[in-house]
């Protein structure tokens, strides 16, 4: 098969976009990493996305998708490795779709994520000086996940292969807590099949079926307990700086933050909103057990319930899914601005998009604090503290 040679520095070579290159082999150099975890090289005026590569790699790849401005390719061979490349710890790496960057040193992962977040805030958000703090690393770059999700089939636990609906059986996950790995190694008997979650519970791991919303009766929890605790501490420190009559936790999940804030601020009226009935039920039960009378929970989508929430001059938290804030939520937050708004995000692009709207609506960014909730992947958590002038 003919191999097309591409100059890694200039991006120029013999490939011309006159016919589809799907199925063709190409040799090229990788010069950067994308926010989706792929390595990026160039062919003429088009970029080529190659999973499991890194800057400095010279690679031979097979084109699997050929579009007008980009191509995606499968890695066939690393003809010359980057000097920074390390040996992955997991035997399933490149087969399982759970990790992106086990071949990249952890310090370099942090540098790349920090740079990518800054670039998103500047390019998408139009924020020339976003006041971006140094990234807070995870104390453990492996063994940090307190829960994992997959499929039980024929007594074995399966992840999904990268960019595929094909399962791969695993008996160990390097990202998972050792209690989960002990459970994986035991295998699974009985009639439980289908999508499940394995979650740390005391000295062992609990197996729970997933519902149609990919949730269990345990509800949403941060997968990295240590970084989750840091995130909670940062929110509490921000709240301690002033007194508020109204405190809102939008996308409140199981109510952990809302109930904690209600406990620490008994004179404030606290509201939590979430669209999952099991989350609201747990939040209300926990509030009752704590004897809290200053917190209420609304079962609804945030964009539907926001008219019922006192936003003006409040302390409000938004922790939306990867899609970011609904336009109606952004409009409400700008129309009746919170005195302090904390935006927790797991997706830099949608965060930057929403910050552009919020800052145009009168908010000022006090600080953007990235936290590495997900080592060995391209994902990044961020906490943004915003303020708006007090309105009468």
Q: What integer pLDDT is reported at residue 220 of this predicted model? A: 73
Tell me the CATH class for 110-138+223-387.
alpha beta
Q: What integer pLDDT is reported at residue 7 of this predicted model? A: 43
Q: Which whole number is the average pLDDT over 250-257?
A: 95
Reported pTM: 0.91
Which of these ranges, 15-24, 236-245, 256-265, 347-356, has the smallest mean pLDDT? 15-24
* Three-state DSSP string of the chain: CCEEEECCCCCCECCCCCCCCCCCEEEEECCEECCCCCEEEEECCEEEEECCCCCCCEEEEEEEEECCCEEEEEEEEEEECCCCCCCCCCCCECCECCCCCCCCCHHHHHHHHHHHHHHHHHHCCCCCCCCECCCECCCCCCCCECEEEEEEECCEEEEEECCCCCEEEECCCCCECHHHHHHHHHCCCCCCCEEEEEEEECCEEEEEECCCCCCCCCCCCCCEHHHHHHHHHHHHHHHCCCCCCEEEEECCCCCHHHHHHHHHCCCCEEEEEECCHHHHHHHHHHHHHCCCCCEEEEECCHHHHHHHCCCCCCEEEECCCCCCCCHHHHHHHHHCCCCEEEEEECCHHHHHHHHHHHHHCCCEEEEEEEECCCCCCCCCEEEEEEECCCCC
- Tell me: pLDDT of 215 over 60: yes
- Tell me: pLDDT of 33 over 70: yes
- Tell me: pLDDT of 316 over 60: yes
Q: Which whole number is the average pLDDT over 317-339?
A: 96
- 374-387 pLDDT, tens digit each: 999 999 999 999 99
Which of these ranges, 8-22, 83-97, 117-131, 303-317, has the smallest mean pLDDT? 8-22
Which of these ranges, 76-80, 181-185, 186-190, 375-379, has the smallest mean pLDDT? 186-190
In which band, very low, low, confident or very high, does the pLDDT at 143 lie, cut at 50, 70 and 90? very high
- Residue spans of the domains in the chain: they are 3-80, 110-138+223-387, 147-209
Select the more confidently predicted residue: 216 or 48: 48
Considering the candidates 90, 99, 173, 346, report the single residue annotated as catalytic.
Answer: 346
- Tell me: pLDDT of 368 over 50: yes
In which band, very low, low, confident or very high, does the pLDDT at 97 lie, cut at 50, 70 and 90? confident
For the question of residue 90 being annotated catalytic, the response is no
Q: What integer pLDDT is reported at residue 4 of this predicted model? A: 52
- Tell me: pLDDT of 2 over 60: no
Which homologous superfamily is 3-80 in? Nucleic acid-binding proteins (2.40.50.140)
Q: Which whole number is the average pLDDT over 310-316?
A: 96
pLDDT-above-70 percentage for the chain:
95
Which of these ranges, 163-167, 267-271, 306-310, 378-382, has the smallest mean pLDDT? 163-167
Q: What integer pLDDT is reported at residue 46 of this predicted model? A: 87
In which band, very low, low, confident or very high, does the pLDDT at 145 lie, cut at 50, 70 and 90? very high
Q: What integer pLDDT is reported at residue 157 of this predicted model? A: 95
């Amino acid at each position: 098969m003919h191999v097309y040679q591409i100059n890694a520095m200039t991006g120029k070579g013999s490939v011309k976009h006159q016919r589809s290159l799907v199925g063709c082999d190409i040799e090229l150099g990788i010069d950067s990493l994308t926010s989706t975890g792929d390595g990026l090289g160039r062919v003429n005026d088009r970029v080529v996305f190659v999973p499991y590569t890194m800057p400095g790699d010279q690679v031979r790849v097979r084109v699997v998708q050929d579009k007008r401005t980009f191509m995606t390719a499968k890695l066939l061979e690393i003809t010359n490795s980057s000097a920074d490349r390390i040996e992955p710890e997991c035997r399933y790496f490149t087969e399982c779709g759970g990790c992106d960057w086990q071949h990249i040193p952890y310090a370099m992962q942090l540098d790349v994520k920090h740079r990518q977040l800054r670039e998103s805030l500047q390019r998408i958000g139009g924020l020339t000086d976003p006041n971006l703090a140094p990234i807070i690393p995870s104390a453990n770059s492996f063994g940090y996940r307190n829960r994992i999700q997959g499929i039980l089939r024929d007594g074995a636990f399966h992840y999904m292969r990268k960019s595929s609906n094909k399962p791969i059986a695993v008996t160990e996950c390097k990202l998972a807590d050792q209690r989960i790995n002990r459970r994986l190694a035991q295998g699974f008997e009985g009639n439980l099949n289908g999508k499940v979650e394995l979650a740390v519970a005391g000295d062992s791991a609990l197996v729970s079926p997933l519902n149609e919303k990919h949730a269990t009766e345990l509800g949403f929890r941060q997968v990295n307990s240590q970084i989750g605790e840091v995130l909670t501490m940062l929110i509490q420190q921000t709240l301690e700086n002033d007194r508020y009559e109204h405190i809102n936790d939008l996308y409140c999940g199981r109510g952990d933050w809302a109930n904690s804030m209600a406990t620490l601020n008994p004179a404030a009226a606290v509201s939590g909103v979430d669209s999952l009935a099991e989350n609201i039920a747990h939040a209300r039960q926990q509030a009752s057990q704590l004897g809290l009378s200053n917190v209420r929970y609304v079962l609804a989508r945030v964009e539907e319930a926001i008219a019922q929430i006192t936003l003006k001059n409040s302390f409000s938290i938004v922790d939306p899914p990867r899609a970011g804030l609904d336009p109606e939520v952004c409009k409400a937050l700008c129309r009746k601005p919170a005195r302090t708004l904390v935006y927790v995000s797991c997706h830099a692009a949608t965060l930057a998009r929403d910050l552009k709207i919020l800052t145009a609506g009168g908010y000022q960014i006090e600080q953007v604090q990235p936290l590495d909730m997900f080592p060995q992947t391209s994902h990044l958590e961020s906490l943004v503290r915003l303020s708006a002038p007090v309105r009468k």
